[in-house]
Amino acid sequence: MPMHQGLIPREGFCADVVVRLIRQTALNPAFLLPLVLLARLTKKGQDISILHPSAAGRLTTLFWLSVARWVNGWVSEKVRNNWVNDEYDWSKEIVLVTGGAGGIGGQIVKLLEERGVTVVVLDIQPMSFTVSSKVHHFECDIRSPEKLEEVAEKIRSQVGHPTVVINNAGVARGKTVLEAQPSDIRFTFDVNTLAPYWTAKTFLPNMVAHNHGMIVTVSSYAAWLTIPNMVDYGASKAGALAFHEGLTAELTTRYNAPKVRTVVVHPGHTRTALFNGYDQQTGFLMPQLEPETVADAVVKQVLSGRSGQVVIPGTGLILTALRAMPDWYSIRLRAKAEVAMTNFRGRQVIEDVDAPYSEDAQGAKRGHNDTSESTVLVSNEQSPTNRE
């Protein structure tokens, strides 16, 4: 399963394609510099500049804007990585993926496996596809720190210490604040927000000790825009984002581990069973993603060995400005977005969130009959105007 290549994504022509073209041309200093030099250093260029002074001025302005953009990006990338480099030998690294038995997590596992990377899958579901000896599946309820540590001992002895942890598992109940039971809300936060804490407490110490490793946190568009029927989901994803930000700061200020990388992923609405029936109605601007698209973006960032922020579609970055928008706009936008949940019927792998999954002897409530539609193994379920 090769990564998608080319300008046009799997989802077809969309706003991201336009933005990418602008960045590669009108906001690309490498593209503009030859034009500026020709306009200033050649006789013909000088003549054209005299005849069209406004165009020449705009070209110069665009060039300096592109330089400023490049410098800003370069400095940000260096700061994210603490101005230090690190080497990753992917024949020796061990990547742990929560919720990797199927869905987006499963696509991530397939991509890593095809590149010869050793992968550990933590999931309450069995694998929904055939894997090689490079992939090791461990059944685990990641809501429980005790069970996670118990399984971690097996992982360390049988496979080794994970050097990359991808917190991919995610759930969504799709209920209003008054409809949701306390168990619904706790379940959402247990998986989406607290589980990354438990995996970090379990596997991060070895990374810190060797000053090498990576923690990937899958958040969502919903961290920036919370809509009706998704209040607990949005809050849990905002909590996951805060976890990423705080952990990033602690790695240098508390643990002296500047080479341990952190990555946060903000996907938009993705075509998974978890968000079946969800319709954000923003096709061209923020189209519904294919699971493979999200997996490609995550694996590409992981294999770079660098810290970063992955936003897909990239146009979703406009949602980060909502906090600075006046209430007359932001409040109305959140209310208007409620139409996305009109026909929501997202699959729930765990129906009885009060009962420990281990007590479900028949496996029916865990969705064992259809692991490809697992909720806890999908991590990208969002929506631009609404959620991830």
**Residues forming a β-bridge with 216:** 166, 263
Read out DSSP for 277-296?
A: T-----TTTSPPBPHHHHHH
221 is catalytic: no
Measured between alpha carbons, how far is 122 from 383 in angstroms, rounded to an integer?
A: 25
**Which has the closest alpha carbon to 330: 341, 339, 319, 317?**
319
Contacts of 326 (CB under 8 A, 6+ apart): none
Name the 3-class secondary structure at 122.
strand
Structure letter (DSSP) for residue 126? P
* Phi-psi category of residue 211: left, alpha or beta, with phi > 0 → left and psi -120 to 50 → alpha: left
List alpha helices for the chain, DSSP H.
15-24, 29-41, 43-51, 53-80, 103-114, 145-158, 182-189, 195-210, 231-253, 291-304, 327-336
From first CA to last CA, the distance across the chain in angstroms is 25
Of these residues, 88, 221, 233, 357, which one is catalytic? 233
Is residue 223 a contact partner of residue 244, using CB atoms and an 8 Å limit? Answer: no
Residue 22: exposure state from Cβ atoms within 10 A (0-12, 13-18, ≥19): exposed
Instruction: Give the helix/strand (H/E) hosting 218.
Output: strand 213-218
- Write out the two tokens for 241: 């984002």
Instruction: Answer for the pair 45, 38: CB distance below 8 angstroms, yes or no.
Output: yes
Q: In what order do the strands lie in the sheet with 213-218?
A: 135-139, 118-123, 94-98, 164-167, 213-218, 260-267, 308-312
Residues serving a catalytic function are: 233
